[in-house]
Structure 1
Amino acid sequence: MVNKFERARDAVVSTPSLVIDLPTVEANLAQLHQYAEKASIKVRPHTKTHKSVLFAKRQLAYGSRGLTVAKVGEAEVMATVSDDILIAYPAIDPDRRRRIAELAKTSSIHVAVDSAYAIHVLGEAARNAHSMIGILIDINVGADRTGVADAEASLELAKLVAKSESLRLDGIFFYPGQVWAPAGEQESPLHAIDEKLAAAISLWQENDLPCPIVSGGSTPTAYQSHCIKSQTEIRPGTYIFNDMNTVRAGFCQEEDCAAAIICTVVSTAVPGKGVVDAGTKTLTSDRNVLHPLTGHGHVIEYPAAVITRLSEEHGEIDFSACPNRPNVGDRISIIPNHICPCVNLQNEVILHDAEHNLTPSKVDSRGMLS
């Protein structure tokens, strides 16, 4: 494979640096939106992957219906470029719900919830702010992270929202995060999810409750979204850059990865090993979802190398299976296992365009935990 990061690797001033290849980003965006148009489904991408106004604008330019965020701080940033924001998180503490209510004065804000408590406190916050917050009822479709258990439980919460004068019942939220099967084996689990959603939608209709939005999806299931006919929009995040999770699971090829960490070999004193200046503060400690023994990422220049251990500033790499070894001072390119937290560890990334120009770009919502 041609290393698209080679020129950036040799040109960056300091390491470790996260480089984003813009032509690959554009190809990833175009591919998803072409599929979504063919499948007649809307895209509301999750911005937790890039946390950047620049990339949010590119997603909107391709036709995204709005944006997804995890935290209110991210919503406040992304509301500068979109007036339609979904907070895919039960944001219920006093400060966050106050800020959501304020933001709802000027933007269409949707919040995913799975409790009567969340409905009560968000309704109170919106009432105090004289605003209207849209609510999506979160249904657990198998990820077992959040969400009510079944259609009947979703109906009870939907009724509570419908009674509120400061909340708007916008529909259903779900997350198929448990589905990591190869694309050709996803039809059955996704159809099961569709049946569960359809049961809830039917029950809502019987009770004259609207369900204009059914929001779901993930990067692993993105291109099989047509198997869930009940959903109206998908929220993939990682697809814009991809990473070794999506590569090793078979959802993309290595050449579809738009992001790499450029780092420097700082030691080869231990036989068979090299140490780079990228540890947990750069690569994170995430193992590969399906192949945890493959290490903490992929070294493009040395495919047989294994990143065996990370500490805060040190990345230890086993080069013993490689025909050649790097020298101290050499630079290498690492595709992370999980790109989203890697971006969040950077104040800025370096953009690499088709003409090999390198431009720093701010990570606008970096570190926004509330």
Structure 2
Amino acid sequence: MANRFERARQELIATPALVIDLPTIEHNLQRLHCYAKQHGLQVRPHTKTHKSRRLARMQIEHGSVGLTVAKLGEAEVMAAESNDLLIAYPAIDPDRRRRVAELAKSHTIRVAVDSSYGISVLAAAAEAAGSTIGILIDLNIGFPRTGAATPKIALELAQQVAQAGKSLRLDGILFYPGHVWAPADQQAEILTQIDQRLAETIALWEAHGLTANIVSGGSTPTAFQSHMIRRQTEIRPGTYIYNDMNTVRAGYCTLDDCAAAVIATVVSTAVPGKCVIDAGNKTLTSDRNVLQPETGFGHVVEYPDAQIVRLSEEHGEIDFAACDSLPQLGERVTIIPNHICPCVNLQNHAYLQTADGIEQDSVDARGLLT
């Protein structure tokens, strides 16, 4: 792998530094939108990965129908870039649902819901604000985190929304195939099972006079197999814009598709066979690789056989036992993190590599967890 981050590595920017390569971003965006267009799918990317208005704008310019966010704080930031926002997270607490209802007065807002209580409180908030909130019924299709457990429960929730009057609008179904990490060429069976679950749910709705105009799914691991879930109308991948070692080691992309890296400086070589960098778990996070947890806390581009073996808050310890040489004190290294999304949220800003040089850009929705 040619180190596309070499220019940033040589710059006198303070480390640890998150560096984003815009040409690679452009490639990743074009690839996804070309695929989606070929298969008649809308793209509503999840902005939790980049948390950047600039990159959200690029996604819209490439043809995204709207944006997905996790929390209402992110929605309030991304409202400047899109009039069509999906909050793929239950808006349960009083402050959040009040702000959702206020934002729905000026934007098309949809919220994923999996409970009767959630529907009731959103209806009350929208009625008080004089707005209408679109609802997607969250259906559990195998990743047991959120979602209605059965098509029957999903129908009952949909009926409650339909009976809520003008405060709520039943827009469709949301699902998340977060349990699918099989190689791309081995996903057909499980994606077909998901499609059958959706078909059963949609048929049940139709039998009771209800329509799911939107069937919103997708993830980065399943992104380019999304056509196998024939009932879905839009996909919500997030990590695809940057990629990371999770997607590389799972075979969904190559190192050349990774648009984000952390530049770190070697600050100690006192322990034989090891070095310490100035990037710990406050930069790289403590996330292990999903499929290969034994590989450490990221990939060191200049020393591919090295292993980041331990992180504390500000220290990253790298073992060079499998390498022919060690870095020098003060040397800078390039690290592709295991999981880029939380890494981004730890940064106030990132450095963008463009054709004209390197510029600083804010992580606009950083830390917006409410």
| Per-residue deviation, 1:320 | 1.4
2:56 is the alignment partner of 1:56 = yes
Distance 1:119 1:91 in 2: 9
Q: Residue in 2 aligned with 1:242?
A: 243
Q: Residue in 1 aligned with 2:74?
A: 74
Q: Residue in 2 aligned with 1:293?
A: 294
Distance 2:7 2:156 in 1: 57
Q: Residue in 2 aligned with 1:360?
A: 360
Distance 1:320 1:182 in 2: 30
Distance 1:122 1:349 in 2: 36
What amino acid does structure 1 have at the position aligned with 2:304?
P
Q: How does 1:137-156 map to 2 (within 5 A)?
A: 137-156=137-156
Structure 1 runs of 4+ with >6 Å offset: none
The answer for unaligned runs of 5 or more in structure 2 is none
| Per-residue deviation, 1:12 | 3.8
SS in 2 for 1:265: strand
| Per-residue deviation, 1:302 | 0.2
What amino acid does structure 2 have at the position aligned with 1:212?
N
Q: Give deviations 1:66-121, integer Å, cap 9, x for gaps.
A: 00000000000001110100000001100000000000000000000100000000
Q: How does 1:1-370 map to 2 (within 5 A)?
A: 1-165=1-165, 166-355=167-356, 357-370=357-370
Distance 1:138 1:259 in 2: 31
Distance 1:327 1:146 in 2: 48
Distance 1:354 1:28 in 2: 17
SS in 2 for 1:282: coil
Q: Give deviations 1:139-161, integer Å, cap 9, x for gaps.
A: 00001000011111100000000
Give the TM-score, by structure 1 length. 0.99
Distance 2:36 2:97 in 1: 32
| Per-residue deviation, 1:353 | 1.3
SS in 2 for 1:168: strand
Distance 1:320 1:211 in 2: 56
| Per-residue deviation, 1:354 | 2.7
What amino acid does structure 1 have at the position aligned with 2:7?
R
Change (3 A) 1:134 1:12: farther
SS in 2 for 1:303: coil
Distance 1:64 1:324 in 2: 46
Distance 2:300 2:353 in 1: 19
What amino acid does structure 1 have at the position aligned with 2:258?
C
What amino acid does structure 1 have at the position aligned with 2:127?
R
What amino acid does structure 2 have at the position aligned with 1:162?
A
CA RMSD of aligned residues (A): 0.5
Distance 1:11 1:225 in 2: 40
Distance 2:75 2:55 in 1: 15
Distance 2:125 2:155 in 1: 23
Give the TM-score, by structure 2 length. 0.99
What amino acid does structure 1 have at the position aligned with 2:40?
S
SS in 2 for 1:360: strand
Distance 1:259 1:200 in 2: 39
Distance 1:176 1:321 in 2: 37
SS in 1 for 2:178: coil
Distance 1:267 1:327 in 2: 9
Q: Give deviations 1:163-202, integer Å, cap 9, x for gaps.
A: 0121000100000000000000000000000000010001
| Per-residue deviation, 1:39 | 0.8
**Number of matched residues?**
369
| Per-residue deviation, 1:7 | 1.2
Distance 1:294 1:353 in 2: 31
Distance 2:103 2:216 in 1: 21
What amino acid does structure 2 have at the position aligned with 1:305?
A
SS in 1 for 2:10: helix
